[in-house]
Amino acid sequence: MTLIGIWERDDGLADLVEANRESWALPARVVRGSHPADFSGLALDLLAVSPRAVGWAGAGNLACRAALLPGAAAPLLRVLRCDAAVTYGPAPRDDLTFSSLSDHGVVAALQRGLVTLDGRAAEPQEWPLALSPDTSPLALLAAAGVQVLMGGILPNEN
């Protein structure tokens, strides 16, 4: 079973992630935490870091197969032990970004191909995401990143 750690500060990322789990290619267990110590001793397959995560002390003790984190938190990769990393955010250098953003939705863009946790290739693509008034666009983008890494079905796949 795939183990996913969601490092967040009550910004709803874990709830967004859980809402899409039925389409994942892999069975998974989601562990929520607000600090790296909450994941101590766990062999995480995926660590998803929310846009508002705080408390980086102790992150060097974490190990994961893949990390999904905001591009602005890329310095965290200096201490985090992971085999692969995917960044998300509004910057052109982020792996997963917005191609458009409005009050009602976003169009997410995977700018570079990556390998999902089940070993499949995810090619660069774009897909629309509905945005509710109480959801952060960055948290929605992070949830889409988890969806891609878990081999979830995206709208333009067959």
Residues 6+ apart with CB under 8 A from 9: 34, 50, 52, 53, 54
107-137 burial by CB neighbour count: b if 16+ within 10 A, else e?
ebbbbeebebbeeeebeeebbebebeeebbb
**Reduced to 3 states, what is the DSSP secondary structure of residue 86?**
strand
Q: How far apart are CA 28 and CA 5, in angstroms?
A: 10
pLDDT tens, position by position, 110-156: 999 999 999 999 999 999 998 888 889 999 999 999 999 999 865 54
Choose the weakest-confidence range: 23-27, 97-101, 143-147.
23-27
* pLDDT band, residue 157 (cuts 50/70/90): very low
Token code pair at residue 78: 């200096």
pLDDT at 84 over 90: yes
Q: How far apart are CA 54 and CA 121, in angstroms?
A: 31
pLDDT at 25: 84
43: nearest Cα among 67, 63, 66: 63
Average pLDDT over residues 32-44: 94
Q: Which percentage of the chain shows pLDDT scores above 90?
A: 73
pLDDT at 20: 84
Report DSSP state, residue 74: G
